[in-house]
Amino acid sequence: MTEEPRIRLDPTQTCRIHLCSAGVSVLLDISSASLPWIVHWGAALPGLKAAEAASLVAVAVPHRTGNGQDLPVRLDVMASPHAGWSGRPGLVGDRDSTAWTPLFKITEVHLEPLEPLEPLEAVDPQEGVTDSTLTSVGAGTLFVTAEDPASSLRLAIELELTRSGLLRGRATLTNTASRRYRVQELGLVLPLPAQAREILDFAGHWGKERVPQRRELTVGTHLREGRKGRTGADAAHVLTVGEPGFGFAEGEVWGLHTGFSGNHRTWAERLFDGQQVLGGSELLLPGEVSLARGQSYTTPWLYGAYGRGLDEQAARFHDWLRSRPHHPVRPRPVTLNVWEAVYFDHRLEKLAALADRAAAVGVERYVLDDGWFGDRRDDTAGLGDWVVSADVWPEGLSPLIDHVTGLGMEFGLWFEPEMVNPDSAVARAHPEWIMAPGDRLPTEARSQQVLNLGVPEAYAHVRDQMVALLEEYPVAYIKWDHNRDLLEAGTRPDGRPGVHAQTLAAYRLMAELKEGHPDLEIESCSSGGARVDLGVLEHADRVWTSDDIDPFERQQMHRWTQQLIPPELMGAHVASGVSHSTGRTHTLHFRAGTAVWGHLGIEWDLTQADEQESTELLEWVSFHKDHRRLLHTGRVIRLDAVDPALQMHGVVRADRREALFAIIGAALPDVEPIGRLRLRGLEPEFSYRVQDVTPGAAPHGFRRPPWWPEEQGAVLSGRVLQTVGVHAPWLAPDTLRILHLDATPG
């Protein structure tokens, strides 16, 4: 569909803009050239007319509070103090202690619709409202420019409602005076209705990312700050506030994600007067953004997701990500990463044998991990010297790459471009490139420091070494690691903070490499899952969910990582029999049955697998390939547990004619049998043939109810499956079954 031209609105007149798409409405009010006020963000208001919109605005204005200001608070998207907002402001900055509370007035308003709903509607004077118009579109973007001449500042705001119903926003601040303007914070806020009173966000640490946590939204600020120079294993991920007791299917929820990989803030705030918001911004360190005349600073994109239930909220993120022009669309290659197979022990004979076994079970991409370069024989030296080690690879990487590609697999290579060991050639030659708060170095982490990509010479050095390798070898994939926090990350010699510049430089390097090598794919890995955000996913093609591949832990991590990203962007590998991270032992059945639900890979020394294991692994890889399109395009469904001993999740095709569901034994149940399970996301009028398609033999302890589908399967309507349900099987812990649902003809 051809995009519509921009609609120009008159900022001197009261105007209302209604964006409506995918079951979401955003109604904005612009009065007296003041910054936009989001009157409603939530469930769709189809057919909204100008008179009703004007009335809605009128009834949304709160009364004056006792001992409050004389005008009611009209919260704008910048949380401006002059409008009466006494919470966290969107802009914190000053010019020598002046211009710290600007009063912006709109100078231009443009609306760029994607899917027009209605033409510009003039209000009928007979309706009694003569001071407004309503512009209604479907998905679209509102562009607002505002100025404060007294503060010599210009502000540009973009608010976009995507076709998936995701609300995106960002702001740009420009200094128009000769004296510098120091920006301490610039962010946006989105309103929350009174019924949103329960918070869900996430905690975590290395090896256990995205741990859900809930609490009540009370008066005050629930502030999540990331000061690690990367997203963090303990990041808020998506900060959601909803109706108390909300789950995957029920309860209205409003969530916000700050799409940035460096320092950042995300918050939920409730004031004494009952008004409450979600907000987000980059967390700027002192002096990181100081604007000279004509210079600008732009916030990261902030993403607001409304839904009825967490699954609908997640679907808005997934649908938007899948709509991007650069979203990976070819089948996601089954990947072998050699790290847990060989670690730093790089020997051609062993790695070639591993490639042989990988190809035999259906692997499509082979990734050589850490240890191939410089003096990198362990994790204490060589990092930053991106030159193939002549000691380990006297003939270069060609013998291994030729063997891998000769087997029909792509070749991938591990890098950690933003980091450096002090014991490396580059650190010895250029100690000034190491980030530090001055003359002293930060405490080492994993025997490494941060290489300052904000220094043009350091950036060029890393880029040129990586480009040389990409031009010499057919590297189709980079595993891009990032193994330490950016604490005390300054630019030498004065030690000025440099996290902001470092983050943008990392994005720029990824973009530059891809521009020169359009088919290159990049994985965002950061001590596992410490850089999972929509900022890095502008450049990366998947994320590494966690360094912990223990399938028991991965069940929870997969469940919640998908609150933001769809399965095809989530690296999920078949682990070794004994977990590297936890020491637990799991069957191949459970390891593979957990991994097939993401972007499938293997991280296991296949040369140690016996014939039975190799045969079973081949079955699981074949199963994944057979269902890969459904797994990577369908809608993610997570069922609220009827018993904590069983978990269920699945994917349903867009037309609802096909689905896969996993039933997972998470613990021993307190009762037996557990009872009925109700599936979700199906078409009530369809009849579905339900079949158990789990590869391999049935696991120990599996007890099937009488209805359980044999080879022919059972046929039930979507209405029965969703409303009545079926009796669950009995599953021992760490076992699972996979059901395939196919709409039968007629």
β-pair partners for 215:
199
Q: What angle do CA 630, 632, 633 make, to 5 degrees?
A: 70
Query: Angle 611-633/348-360 helices, nearest 10 degrees?
Result: 60
* Count of residues making up the chain: 746
β-pair partners for 252:
308
HSE toward the beta carbon, residue 605, CA cutoff 13 A: 11
Annotated catalytic, 547?
A: yes
Contact 618, 696 (CB under 8 A): no
Q: Torsions phi, psi of 306, nearest 5? A: -100, 145
- How much is the CA Rg of the chain, to the nearest whole Å? 27
Catalytic, out of 76, 547, 692, 734: 547
Annotated catalytic, 124?
A: no
Q: Using alpha carbons, list the distances in angstroms from residue 359 to 333, 354, 404, 408, 621.
A: 12, 9, 9, 8, 11
Compute how many other C-beta atoms are within 10 angstroms of the C-beta atom of residue 359.
18
**Residue 619: which residues within 8 A CB-CB, separation 6 or more?**
695, 696
Q: Using alpha carbons, list the distances in angstroms from residue 248 to 305, 539, 618.
A: 14, 29, 33
Tokens read off for 291: 């604007």
**Residue 579: which residues within 8 A CB-CB, separation 6 or more?**
548, 549, 550, 585, 586
Tokens read off for 13: 């007149």
Tokens read off for 52: 């009703």
**Residue 227: which residues within 8 A CB-CB, separation 6 or more?**
263, 283, 487
What is the bridge-based pairing of β-strands 335-337 and 599-602? parallel
Compute how many other C-beta atoms are within 10 angstroms of the C-beta atom of residue 100.
17
Q: What angle do CA 602, 604, 608 make, to 5 degrees?
A: 135
Calpha distance 55→48 (Å, rounded): 11
**3-class SS at 331?**
coil
Please provide the distance, in angstroms rounded to a whole number, between the alpha carbons at the two ends of the chain: 33
Calpha distance 499→490 (Å, rounded): 7
Catalytic, out of 76, 481, 541, 734: 481
Calpha distance 574→589 (Å, rounded): 10
Residues with catalytic roles: 481, 547
